[in-house]
Amino acid sequence: MSEEKPEEEIVKKLDKVADSLESTTSQLSSVVTQQQLDLIRERVSKCESDLTKMEEALQGSSSNVTDKLDKLTDDTLKIGENLSALDRDHSSLRALIYSSFVLSTLSVVGLVIFAMQL
């Protein structure tokens, strides 16, 4: 029996060591997991920050594009108005040319008639 007691004591000590190792392993796993969670939180936070910056940049870019589009629309309308004015001017000039041709023709005919009567 005296031999059984040291063996039992050794088994008890080994059980305690095993329990201690299991507890330590579990704690280390928790620490590693917590470190991984912290790292993930940092990365998620950085990604959220980057997304916020991108949203702000896109909103600014969108407003710039909208402003430029409005300006281009106004410029297009002005170009259309100018083109319409140029068409009217061209038509008026063409009418003046025809009128001057008719007047000059009549003047020449009048001069010929007057010269014939002399």
For the stretch 59-101, pLDDT in tens is 888 889 999 999 999 999 999 999 999 999 999 999 999 999 9
Domain annotation covers residue 94: no
Residue 83 lies in a domain: yes
**What's the number of CA atoms in the CB half-sphere (13 Å) around residue 71?**
6
In a domain, 102, yes or no: no
Q: Does 104 fall in a domain?
A: no
Number of domains the chain contains: 1
Domain carrying residue 59: 1-88
Residue type, 49: S
The model carries a pTM of 0.48
- Given the structure tokens 């910056």, which residue do they identify? 53
